[in-house]
Amino acid sequence: MAELTKDGEAVDPTPSAALDAPVGRGEPILQVRNLVKHFPLTQGILFKKQIGAVKAVDGISFDLYQGETLGIVGESGCGKSTVAKLLMMLETATSGEVFYKGQDITKLSGKALKAVRRNIQMVFQDPYTSLDPRMTVGDIIGEPFEIHPEVAPKGDRRKKVQELLDVVGLNPEYIHRYPHQFSGGQRQRIGIARGLALNPEIIICDEPVSALDVSVQAQVINLMEKLQDEFNLSYIFIAHDLSIVRHISDRVGVMYLGKMAEIGTDVQIYDHPTHPYTQALLSAVPVPDPAAREGRERIILTGDVPSPANPPSGCRFRTRCWKAEEKCSIEVPLLAVPAPFVGKDTPAAHESACHFAEEKDVVHVH
């Protein structure tokens, strides 16, 4: 199989220097700063009056480095997909910045925006509905070339699409087939091939394997890891399955009600979580191996996630937090390395938005 460069020509598949560079070093490729998305809540039919806002994303900051995978986890409705759409510029941010190689892309339009879009692609959750059933696989994967013809001149497209099919492990002869002729896992591969078409640097994956069966999930995850190494891709990997996120991610961010609760390396988050929400979330994960399960502490949260239209004051987690004190209802905890761990050489020293952050290992047997 041919190795593709950024310009799409086949080259000798020797690993580039960048591949060997340690992940998480150098300049971030993406810097997200205080990103906010409020969806207005309106009343009235003729004269729409705004009566409030769904605070889907409410001040989120993080970095993404070249070649790394940043996992984003959190419960349904916490704002993960909205973050993805903001980064893809499918939604307009209410406020905040997204710097791509130092340039704020939320302020771009026209040609400049189009140029950036090419480098940030997306793979969606649902392999059954995200592909147009009336288009052939060749048309679906080649569609991005219509918008960016500079990537593949007309005459080369068919070859390019077949190459992409090959890259994602599908038979290049399937180019004329329709989506319904493929299984869920194969459709997800088609979605990935399409995401790769423009040789992007960043791929945002929103629940890319959630709709797949366990055995097929593993095939797609392995493929994504292989492609990342091959093309030095950066992934933002959104999922609710915490085991899969650990497997694929270098760093992980935990979201709760539109805010980032905690962020760190996979070891920091899974083995040394300091935020009560992360601890509860991890402890609730059903673990199949009885040996790893027994003696494990389980924190069963009561109640549901509050409405993002009316989040609790202070710390948003306080209505479900067993450690909440008065301070939590008054002061919003900032995402920073908690005071007790500042300057300490411990995996607990990572950013966590809790007034009373403490380390608590909930995934290992004691």
Partner 1 sequence: MTIIDKTADVPAPRGAGDHEGPLLEVRDLHVEFHTREGVAQAVNGVNYTVSAGETLAVLGESGSGKSVTAQAIMGILDMPPGRIPKGEVLFRGRDLLTMSPEERRKIRGSKIAMIFQDALSSLNPVLTVGYQLGEMFRVHQGLSKKEAKVKAIELMDRVKIPAAAARVNDYPHQFSGGMRQRIMIAMALALEPDLIIADEPTTALDVTVQAQVMDLLAELQREYNMGLILITHDLGVVADVADKIAVMYAGRIVETAPVHELYQRPAHPYTRGLLDSIPRLDQKGQELYAIKGLPPNLLKIPSGCAFNPRCPKAQDVCRTDVPVLHPVTEQDGGELPGRGSACHFWKETIHG
By the rule CB under 6 A, 80 interacts with ligand ATP: yes
Please give the Cα distance from 65 to 63 (Å, whole number): 7
Backbone CA torsion sign across 150, 152, 156, 158 = negative
Q: Of these, 117, 160, 251, 320, which contacts partner 1 (CB under 8 A)?
A: 320
By the rule CB under 8 A, 299 interacts with partner 1: yes
Residue 120, judged by CB atoms within 10 A of its CB (0-12, 13-18, 19+), counts as buried
Least gap, CB of 280 to ligand ATP (angstroms): 17
Binding site for Mg ion (CB under 5 A): 81
Measured from the CB atom, the residue of 138 and 185 that comes closer to Mg ion is 185
By the rule CB under 6 A, 349 interacts with ligand SF4: no
Q: For the segment 298-317, give every residue that binds ligand ATP (CB under 6 A).
A: 308
Helix axes 137-147, 184-196, angle to 10 degrees: 20
Quickly count: other Cβ atoms within 10 Å of residue 180's Cβ: 9
Q: For the segment 277-316, give every residue that binds ligand SF4 (CB under 6 A).
A: 315
Q: Of these, 318, 341, 351, 362, which contacts ligand SF4 (CB under 6 A)?
A: 318
Query: How does DSSP assign 9-64, residue by residue?
Result: -EE--PPPHHHHSPTT-SSEEEEEEEEEEEEEEEE-SSS-EEEEEEEEEEEEEEEE
Measured from the CB atom, the residue of 57 and 98 that comes closer to Mg ion is 57
Tokens (6 digits) for 319: 């209505």
Measured from the CB atom, the residue of 103 and 307 that comes closer to ligand SF4 is 307
Measured from the CB atom, the residue of 56 and 348 that comes closer to ligand ATP is 56
By the rule CB under 6 A, 82 interacts with ligand ATP: yes
By the rule CB under 8 A, 150 interacts with partner 1: no
Least gap, CB of 275 to ligand SF4 (angstroms): 6
Q: Of these, 91, 139, 143, 266, which contacts partner 1 (CB under 8 A)?
A: 266
Tokens (6 digits) for 92: 């307009």
By the rule CB under 6 A, 276 interacts with ligand SF4: yes
By the 8 A CB rule, do 161 and 175 touch?
yes
Of partner 1, ligand SF4, ligand ATP, none, which one does residue 81 interact with (CB within 5 to 8 Å by kind)?
A: ligand ATP
Instruction: Give CA angle at 217 (215, 220), nearest 5°.
Output: 120
Quickly count: other Cβ atoms within 10 Å of residue 138's Cβ: 19
Least gap, CB of 347 to partner 1 (angstroms): 13
CA distances from 366 to 27, 41, 231, 293, 360 (A): 39, 48, 41, 10, 12
Q: Of these, 43, 243, 313, 329, which contacts partner 1 (CB under 8 A)?
A: 243
By the rule CB under 6 A, 77 interacts with ligand ATP: yes
By the 8 A CB rule, do 60 and 232 touch?
no
Measured from the CB atom, the residue of 213 and 331 that comes closer to partner 1 is 213
By the rule CB under 6 A, 56 interacts with ligand ATP: yes
By the 8 A CB rule, do 203 and 235 touch?
yes
Please give the Cα distance from 364 to 88 (Å, whole number): 37
The binding site for partner 1 (CB under 8 A) comprises 75-76, 183, 185-186, 213-219, 221-222, 225, 240, 242-244, 246-247, 266-267, 270-271, 280-282, 284-305, 320-322, 363-365
